[in-house]
Structure 1
Amino acid sequence: MKRRNSRASLPVFYSVSTALLLTACGGSDDDSGGGSTPLPAPTAIVNGVPEIDPAIAEASKKLNADKTILDIVSELNTDATAKVSFDQHMELVRIASPSRYEYRMAGEVHRRMADEWGFSRGEIKTSADGNLPGTDVQLVDGLPVYNACVEIKGTYSSSPDAQSYKGQYPKVLVESHIDVVNPEVLPPDSNPFQPIKLQPFNDPVVTAPSQLNAISSELSFDASGRIIEDANYEWASRWFASQDAAKTGGAARIYVPGYTDAMGNTSALFTLARMFKKHNIKPVYDVWICGTAGEEGKGNLAGMKQLYGFDQNLGTGSNPLNFVANFGNEGEARSTSPAAIASR
C-alpha cells in the first residue's frame, strides 16, 4: 500500500496550534504559563499589513521548538496515524447527520471520546440529550442542539490572578460542524448509515442520484461499525501526490455526504483532540474542540447559538461560557485521499 497522506492533518494542527499560541501556550507539562505570561496586544492593521505583537512572535518560536509539539507533528506524519485517521473519517462520515438531527453522530463521537480517545466524562462538555451546562440556550427553534465538545484544560483558572466572567474562565473555541445537507430527512433507525461509493477516478463525475445508485463498489463495515480492510479499502485508502498521478495510478473517487467540508475537517479536529490528550498538552486558557450542530441547510447555526448563548429573538448573545477566541476549521477540506472527489 502506498503511504497515506499523513500530512493531511497538519493544516488542522497548525490552526489549533495558533489557538494555543494566542493563549500563550507551550506544549510541555512543565510550562504552566499561569497569569505571568504577558498577553499579546490586538493585531493592528498598518498600511494594509497586520502588525504582529512581539509576544505572539516569541510564543510562535517557543511553540515551534517545543518538544511535545514536535512529538505530535512527528506522530501525525506516520503511516499508523494516517491509517487511524482515514478509518475514523470513513466510520464517522457514513452516519447520516442532517441539520438538527445530529444526535446519532454526536452520540458516536461522545462514545469515542470516552471509550477510545482518553477523555474523562468531566472533560466531555456536551451530552447525548443536547444539554450544555452553563449556557443560556438549550433549544433553538424548539429543537435540542447536538454539539459534541471536549475540553483541553488550561492552567489559567488556577493562577492567583485569574479572572472569570459569570463564573466562567476564558476559553478558546476550535470547531467544525458535524451536520450535512444531504440527506435532508433522517433515515430510519433500521438503516442509519449512508453508503460510501467508490468510482474509478477517470470515470465522469456523476450528476444524478440514479447514477450514484448505479455504482456498485462500496466500502464495507462490520456489525460494530468498523471499516473492513478488503480490496475496496485498499483502493480507496491509497494516496497520490497529484491529480495526474491519480489519473495514471488508478485512484478511486469517493462519494458520501459530508466527506469534504463536514467530517473531512471535523474528524481531523477530533484527531488533534486525541493527540493533545495523549501528549498531555497544557494550554493557558481552556481549549474546547467541538463538532458543532446546525451549520448546514436549515440548521440556523444552532450549535454556535448554544455555545455563545445567542438569543435569536433579541438578536444578542450573552457569551456565558466566556469564549475569548474562535477558530473555525472550515474551507478547503483535507483528507487522506486528496485525489478523491466526494459528493456533498
Structure 2
Amino acid sequence: MEQKNGSSFTGFFLLGFSDRPQLELVLFVVLLIFYLFTLLGNTTIIALAQLDPNLQTPMYFFLSNLSFLDLCYTTSSVPQFLVHLRTTDKSISFGGCVAQLFISLGLGCTECILLGVMAFDRYAAICKPLQYTVIMHPRLCALMASVSWFIGFGNSLLQTVLIFLLPLCGRNKIDHFVCEIPALLKLACVDTTVNESELFFASVIILLIPVALIIFSYGQIVRAVLRIKSSAGQRKAFGTCGSHITVVSLFYGTAIYAYLQPSNNYSQDQVKFVSLFYAIVTPTVNPVIYTLRNKDVTGAMKKVLCRGQDSR
C-alpha cells in the first residue's frame, strides 16, 4: 500500500490491539456477547414502541430513535473490529474509512442532540403537564428528531471533508480500531493546530449545548418535583427521569473525556478503551436501563410475550 502521489491511498491499516495479541481473543468474546445483546435490546425497544399503543407517545418516539441510533452506531464499527480481532488482515479501504468516519460521527453527534431533546420532553411532561400534549405535538417531535439528524450529519460531513483534505504523506497505519478523527489527525504530515482547534470548537457546540439544555431542564424538573407534597408523586416523577439521567451520564461522560481533553493528557490505549466503552457498552446497557426502570416498557413486553403464547 505505497503512496504514489501526495494525497492518494489505496487504504489504511487499523492497528487496534495488535500489540496485545493475548488480549484479542478475550476482546472478541466479550464484544461479540455485548454486540448480540445490543442488537436484541435495542430491536426490542423499537418493536415494543411500534406494537404497543401505550408506548406511542413522544417519550417513546424519542427512545425508539435513540435505540435505532445505538443499533446503527455500534454496527458501523463493531462487526469490522470483530473480524480484525480474528484475522491478520486489519486493512480498510480508503472509501470504507471515509464512510465509517462519516456514519459513526454523524450518529454520535445526532445522539448528543437527541439526548438534549429528550430532556426537554421530560421537562414538558413534569413542569407543564396540562400543556404537555399541546407542546409535544407529533409534528414538533418529528421536527426536533429531524433537526437532530440534520445537524448531526451536517457536522459529520464538515469534519469528514476537513480531515481528508489534509495531506497524509504515505502514512496509513491508524493506531485505533476504528477510523476516528483524533487518530487520523496523527497521520497528517502538516501542522494540525487549526484542525484541532476547529474540532474542539465543534465538539463544545455539539456536546456542551445539549448538556446545558439538560442541566437547565433537570433544574426546572427538580424545582417542580420538590413542590409535590406527596412522596409517592415525587418518586414517580424522579423515576421517569432516572433512566434518562443515567444514559446521559454514561454517554456524555465518555464522549467529553474522548473529545474535550488535550491529546497529551492520556495514552492512546486509554483512548481505545474509552472508544470501546461508548461504541459497545453504552448501547448495550441503554435498553437495560430503560427496561428495568420503566413499568410501561416491562408491561408492554409482558403483553407481547403473552400474546405470542396465546397465538400458539
The two structures have a TM-score, normalised by structure 2, of 0.26
Structure with more helix by fraction: 2
